[in-house]
Structure 1
Amino acid sequence: MSSSSPDLNSSTLIIGAGTWGCSTALHLARRGYKNVTVLDPYPVPSPISAGNDINKIVEQGTPISLPFPPSPLTDNHFNTNPGSFSDGEEGASISETLLQLATEGWLTDPIFKPYYHNTGYIICAHTPDGLTQLTKREMLDQKADFEWLDTPAAFRATMPEGVLTGNFPRWKGGFKRTGAGWVFARGALVSAYKEAKRLGVTFITGAKGGVKELLIENGDVIGAVTNHGKQYRAKTTILAAGANAPQLLDMKDQLRPTAWTLAHIKMSREECKLYKDLPVLFNIESGFFMEPDAEKHELKICDEHPGYCNWTVSPSGNKESIPFAKHQIPLEAETRVRGFLKDTMPQLASRPFSFARICWCADTPDRNFLIDRHPEYPSLVLAVGGSGHGFMHITSVGGFVADTVEGKLDQRLKKAFRWRPETAVGRNWEDVQGRRGGPNKMMDFGNVKENEWTHIQERAMGPRL
């Protein structure tokens, strides 16, 4: 398709109504595309979507106007933090550019702005290796907008009296009072969905929207076939199926479906008032929390670790991690959550969990996004590889996908997001990719026995919006 004259009446099929699928649908609809259909096996918000969550951490960049601002060359390495992007050329790192573009959406887009809370952000660690990562990779000791915290009293002073009562053993880190915080993830996801639908996008979700396979004719992808055998044909098909993408397309080992664990604790109304507008507290080795959910009065705590996979061997003999939905977490994850609470808020450490779940993402080998036309199927556009940091970009990632559809994605982003199977040759599936916590290694749900999961009474996650 010509980048100068996109055919707004051409049919577009999006497979996946999660964070990136809804963002893409919204951006296409805003550009005037009139024939966009989205398929997903679950209603929005999906119970397996990482975006179906009460909160996600956000650190602001400086809002900018497209395309990219000039920036002085600071060194020859740029930001090579796993989960970031580097382009090896003069100018702002791609990581910073993406952060700036996402921030512009959180601060100015009426679809997303109501869900951002600029409460501040504490990032810390407690082992020598973790502290080295903070100071060398995150460079907190060089950032003027971070205050250094190195005593239990300093940590406690960041929040109202009675919140942080722990001893913070060996904890050190930085406190950014503004320009960071959290977003109501589920609210933002549903907001994007509703606006895309209002603008004319068709969503087919639930049993009728489950995709069994891509529809391939004459050497190209021309749509998809649902589990019920219905064919949806389109001029352009966009695969935004997240961790489930490898089940529909041979990704040449570029995606590793990886899951994380979280738990909720019920809070009283008085506690919710005390905990309101707190800065996010994130220990890169043990976990994080932010203020309780205003809807259900629950505090979410995540235990930090490199992630779980669900390994199996495919009929062709390939190693595969297969996502599944579960509103429970392994007991070892519960132990980690309670350990984090003992260090920070011991008054909550023994409370029962009101909810827990695993949530899935898909790691690329370098944790860069994968947004590109497939080299063998010219009508197939890939929008996958969130790599644990994809939700932050819900405001802007759909624009990158739309630019790819129209053939006008910025060349630096095109290079970073390209189809790159060479990076997955001989892939080390046990690579922690810069993540810390727990056993400091990748874990396998296959090693968790049936009686080694929590037994929390399940409830629906759907929003009341």
Structure 2
Amino acid sequence: MPAPLEKNNPIIIVGAGTWGCSTSLHLARRGYTDVTVFDPFPVPSIISAGNDINKVLEAGSFSGGEDEAVVAQILLAAAKQGWRNDPVFSPYFHDVGYILAASSTAAIKTTLEREINHHKDLFTELSTAEDFRATMPPGVLTGEFPQWKGWLRRSGVGWVHARKAMVAAYEEAGRLGVKFVFGNARGKVESLLYQTGDVRGVRTADGIDHSSNRVILAAGAYAPQIFDFENQLRPTAWTLAHIQMSPEEAKLYRNLPVLFHSEKGFFMEPDEDNLELKVCDEYPGYCNWVTPEEGKDNALPYSKPLPRNKIPVESARRIRRFLSETMPHLADRPFSHAATIWCADTSNRAFLITQHPRYESLILAAGDSGHGFTHLPSIGGFVADLMCGQLDSRLAKSWRWRPEVAQGFWGDDVLGRSGADNRVIHLNETASEGWIGAGSDATQVVRLSKL
């Protein structure tokens, strides 16, 4: 076992994204005085999935067995406590409710089982286009909602301003004494330092070694480039686009419930600063498969993050289809921004937050599986619990190091997600149509490929 950790011992966190910022804040609040966070980019990082105007704050899913449901409820209770009561985060939670929807028989069944049946009294069923339109002010939802079925929950859920909340965590951690090191040389961790069978620090791109008593690897989709996770992580991407709204439109769209269709897409109210409406298409994700290097035994293809301020043309088509069914008056608008963002899936979508079994001074905080931002206020507390040997045994079991669960190639597993023909999409399949970004409108998309 590593030596007991004193409050003044050096701790290094690799990654200043959502989980890295949260962990640094919780460690500082617990009195750890020598915490350093390394990242190539300043907060909010241009490649962090948390650098976004808004994220859905979910009510919690009951997928999986009883143990998974218990873990989900522990996590959700802690997250909601933070979003409601922690002064660092509470200003950024918008309790506006949300609409869950689906169209296919399978997706409707899944939504009922995971989301609705456990608290039916909180939802109102939506069956017609008129039902959907009535959930928002006249002029917002003008579509026909073909074959949609939905459920409205008015409170207890909504959205959070992601970028502002992450910056708030970073600033408070800095105020409490956490040191942040940024830059492609000083802030980029290229490797871990191994010594006498353990991890004792990191080496940055400028060639400098940094020693520590604990290393916490919280680098999101980029963590597998620093450490071998033995096939347990799959970097997976999703896409988003923004549409510029006028001040009058933004006022009309203020305080709307989130509209989320599990097979088509979702949107939230416009950003109050830039008046941009965020719209996303929904699907199991993109992967950028790379052939393993020669000489590696039994190596499998791996997905390598490819962040871009553009989205594949097929994604733009899906976004505009979603708009045509919900808000057709916006379906031809140019995008003011578009981006492909990366998270890291695990094969069962449980987090991977654990002490490494061989390198006992290495703490892993990875595998957000597309729902990590909800836990920004609280996830760092669980990482700190783990480091102190106090993590709830139920969480420790769910989040353990588990390469035996991820045997063989599982990269095409949709992991319970749907949309876009219900398959994980390989980015190289999109190359023939290309990518588009800010300024693209429906005419450009049609020109590249018919709707």
> Would you say same fold, with TM above 0.5?
yes
8 Å Cα contact 1:365-1:427 kept in structure 2: no
How far, CA to CA, are the matches of 1:436 and 1:101 in structure 2? Answer: 28
8 Å Cα contact 1:166-1:344 kept in structure 2: yes
Secondary structure of 1:138's counterpart equals helix
Give 1:286's aligned residue.
Answer: 264
Shift, 1:80, TM fit:
5.1
Give 1:87's aligned residue.
Answer: 67
Shift, 1:319, TM fit:
1.1
Give 1:299's aligned residue.
Answer: 277
Give 2:353's aligned residue.
Answer: 371
Give 2:115's aligned residue.
Answer: 138
Shift, 1:41, TM fit:
1.0
1:102 to 57, 73, 79: 79
Give 2:45's aligned residue.
Answer: 46
Structure 2 vs 1, CA of residues 434 and 57 (structure 1 numbering), >3 Å: closer, same or farther?
A: same
- TM norm structure 1: 0.90
How far, CA to CA, are the matches of 1:191 and 1:80 in structure 2? Answer: 31
How far, CA to CA, are the matches of 1:282 and 1:451 in structure 2? Answer: 27
Structure 2 vs 1, CA of residues 2 and 422 (structure 1 numbering), >3 Å: closer, same or farther?
A: closer
Give 1:188's aligned residue.
Answer: 165
Q: Deviations over 1:342-384 (max 9, x none)?
A: 0000000000000000111100111011111001101100000
Give 1:403's aligned residue.
Answer: 385
How far, CA to CA, are the matches of 1:107 and 1:193 in structure 2? Answer: 19
2:144 to 141, 150, 167: 167
Give 1:64's aligned residue.
Answer: none
Give 1:71's aligned residue.
Answer: none
2:133 to 152, 156, 160: 156
Give 2:339's aligned residue.
Answer: 357
Shift, 1:134, TM fit:
1.6
8 Å Cα contact 1:2-1:407 kept in structure 2: no
For residues 409-424 of structure 1, the aligned pairs below 5 Å read 409-424=391-406
Give 2:308's aligned residue.
Answer: 326
Give 2:230's aligned residue.
Answer: 252
Give the AA of the match of 2:261: N
Give the AA of the match of 2:149: K
- TM norm structure 2: 0.93
Structure 2 vs 1, CA of residues 450 and 17 (structure 1 numbering), >3 Å: closer, same or farther?
A: farther
How far, CA to CA, are the matches of 1:142 and 1:377 in structure 2? Answer: 43
8 Å Cα contact 1:282-1:288 kept in structure 2: yes
How far, CA to CA, are the matches of 1:180 and 1:309 in structure 2? Answer: 30
8 Å Cα contact 1:43-1:205 kept in structure 2: yes
* CA RMSD between the two structures: 1.8
How far, CA to CA, are the matches of 1:354 and 1:253 in structure 2? Answer: 37
1:268 aligns with 2:267: no
Give the AA of the match of 1:331: V
Aligned length: 435
Give 2:96's aligned residue.
Answer: 119
Give the AA of the match of 2:390: K
- Percent identity between the aligned chains? 53
How far, CA to CA, are the matches of 1:56 and 1:351 in structure 2? Answer: 22
How far, CA to CA, are the matches of 2:243 and 2:62 in structure 1? Answer: 36
How far, CA to CA, are the matches of 2:255 and 2:128 in structure 1? Answer: 23
Give 1:12's aligned residue.
Answer: 11
8 Å Cα contact 1:134-1:173 kept in structure 2: no
Q: Which runs of 5+ in 2 are unaligned?
A: 441-451
Give 1:346's aligned residue.
Answer: 328
Give the AA of the match of 1:226: T
How far, CA to CA, are the matches of 2:118 and 2:394 in structure 1? Answer: 30
Give 1:75's aligned residue.
Answer: none
Give the AA of the match of 1:314: P
Give 1:221's aligned residue.
Answer: 199
